[in-house]
Amino acid sequence: MNRISFNKSKALAISSALGLLVVVVIQVVASIAGASAGISAAKRDVEREMIAAHAPTGQFGAKWLMSASEVRDLFPDATAVSSENLKCVSTAFGRRAFIDFMFHDDALVMIFVSFIGEKSDATYAATHVLLTNQFGAFSEPHPSNDYLLISSRKDGRVRTDHLMFSTGGMKVEQVLFVLGEN
C-alpha cells in the first residue's frame, strides 16, 4: 500500500508540475499574442495615419512596422546585413538599385535606396520628377554643405530625402524614406 500511495504522490506531483507548466505556457502564448496584437494595432494605426496624410504607407510592397521576416517574404533574395538591416538589389523608380530595409525592434522604420549605374544631374532630375509625380511637391533641389543636391518632403510621420553626394570621387544618388515621430 505504501508503494501505491507513493506512486499516487508521485503522480500528483507530476500532475501539479505539468499543470504549472501548462499555466506558464498559456501565459507566454497569451503575452506573445498580446504583443502581436499590439504590433498589429500599431501597424493599422500607422497605415491609417499615412493614408490620411497622403503619405507613403511604405515602399515596394513593404509597409511601415513590418517585421524583417515579413519583408524577407516580399524579397526572398534579400540578405541580412545585420539584425537591423536587410539588403537586396531591385528596381526602384525605373532604375536598378540597392534597397536597404532598416528595422528597429524588428519593425520597419527606414527604406534606403542607392541607385546603381549612372548618377548625374540628369538622372537626379529625372528621379526627382518621378518622386514628385508619385508623392507630391518636394523642396527645390539645392546644394548644401553635405550634399551636391538635396530635396525633401515630409508627410505626417514620413520624411523623404532625395540626395546626391560625392564620396571618393564618385557620385552617389539615394532616396531615403524614414518613419519618425509626429
Break the chain into its structural domains and give their ranges: 53-179
pLDDT of residue 55: 60
- CB within 8 Å of 81: residues ≥ 6 apart: 87, 100
| Cell numbers describing residue 66 | 513590418
Per-residue tens of pLDDT for the chain, all 182 residues:
444 444 444 433 433 333 333 333 334 333 443 444 555 666 666 666 665 555 666 788 888 889 999 999 999 999 999 989 999 999 999 999 999 999 999 999 999 999 999 899 999 999 999 999 988 899 999 999 999 999 999 988 889 999 999 999 899 999 999 988 75
pLDDT of residue 181: 72
pLDDT of residue 49: 64
| Cell numbers describing residue 177 | 524614406
pLDDT of residue 6: 44
pLDDT of residue 180: 83
Note the pTM of the prediction, 2 decimals: 0.72
DSSP calls for the chain: -HHHHHHHHHHHHHHHHHHHHHHHHHHHHHHHHHHHHHHHHHHHHHHHHHHHTT--SEETTEETT--HHHHHHH-TT-EEEETTEEEEEEEETTEEEEEEEEEETTEEEEEEEEE-S--SHHHHHHHHHHHHHHH---PPPB--SS-SEEEEEEETTEEEEEEEEEETTEEEEEEEEEE---
